[in-house]
């Protein structure tokens, strides 16, 4: 199961409903927003796990963190500490606020949802992505590190615009477009 499926299916779809209510979106808009935001997060995760110690660091974060709570207790999604945690996750995955803004802007173009809504939504989506990975890496149906990397990579494949097997050039082109417009 990939990250998007895990979030959309969480608590029989109630995670999508909670996000929709929190950000004033319809269920369809929320699923569309998730579909537009998660590939960028997965791309960042894929870059992280492809570094020599990246998969070990992700596994340690998932094993020692409390990330699963975000799918278990949907009321936590609206709390300030969730935003703080989400922004920390974004900093690690995407590296900068400029990249986060670019992701929101790109998702806005794809979905028609306001970039301001998507910027506010992105940290919450990051916590949900980590929660989904946490759930996949723990318990009886746990996935191995290689399977987790494959799940991340499958979603990140959406970012490989030119289908060359690497999202790095596509992300750099995307970020380059962001800064060339100034």
The structure's pTM equals 0.73
| pLDDT over threshold 80, residue 83 | yes
Rounded average pLDDT over 121-147:
72
pLDDT of residue 172 exceeding 50, the answer is no
When pLDDT is averaged across residues 140-166 and rounded to a whole number, the result is 48
If one counts the domains in the chain, the total is 1
Please provide the average confidence, as pLDDT, over all residues in the chain: 75
Residue 138 Cα distances to 62, 63, 86, 115, 135, angstroms: 9, 8, 20, 34, 5
Which of 88-92, 158-162, 175-179: highest mean pLDDT?
88-92
The yes-or-no verdict on residue 49 having pLDDT over 80 is no
Residue 51 has pLDDT above 50, yes or no: yes
Among residues 82, 71, 79, the alpha carbon closest in space to that of 15 is found at 71
With a CB cutoff of 8 Å and minimum separation 6, the contacts of 18 are 74, 75, 77
CA distances from 57 to 50, 53, 139 (A): 11, 6, 19
Could you tell me which of 170, 152, 168, 136 has the C-alpha nearest to residue 49? 152
The pLDDT of 102-129, averaged and rounded, is 93
Question: In the prediction, which pLDDT does 103 show?
Answer: 92
* Rounded mean pLDDT, 141-152: 49
The parent domain of residue 88 ranges over 3-180
Across the range 15-22, mean pLDDT stands at: 91
Q: What's 165's DSSP letter?
A: S
- Mean pLDDT for 11-26 is 88
| pLDDT at residue number 135 | 73
Q: Is the pLDDT of residue 180 over 50?
A: no
Q: Which of 42-51, 97-106, 150-159 has the highest mean pLDDT?
A: 97-106
Percent of the chain exceeding pLDDT 90 equals 23
């Amino acid at each position: 199961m990939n990250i998007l499926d895990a979030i959309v299916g969480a608590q029989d779809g109630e995670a999508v409903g909670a996000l929709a209510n929190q950000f004033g979106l319809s269920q369809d808009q929320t699923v569309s927003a998730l579909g537009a935001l998660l590939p960028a997060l997965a791309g960042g995760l894929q870059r992280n796990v492809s570094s020599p110690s990246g998969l070990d660091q992700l596994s340690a974060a998932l094993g020692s963190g409390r990330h699963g709570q975000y799918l278990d207790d949907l009321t936590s999604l609206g709390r300030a500490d969730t935003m703080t945690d989400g922004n920390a996750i974004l900093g690690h995955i995407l590296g900068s606020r400029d990249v986060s803004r670019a992701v929101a802007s790109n998702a806005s173009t794809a979905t028609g949802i306001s970039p301001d809504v998507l910027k506010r939504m992105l940290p919450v989506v990051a916590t949900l992505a980590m929660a989904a990975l946490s759930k996949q890496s723990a318990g009886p149906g746990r996935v191995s590190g290689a399977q987790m990397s494959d799940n991340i990579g499958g979603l990140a494949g959406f970012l490989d615009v030119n289908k060359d097997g690497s999202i790095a050039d596509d992300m750099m082109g995307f970020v380059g477009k962001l800064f060339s417009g100034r």
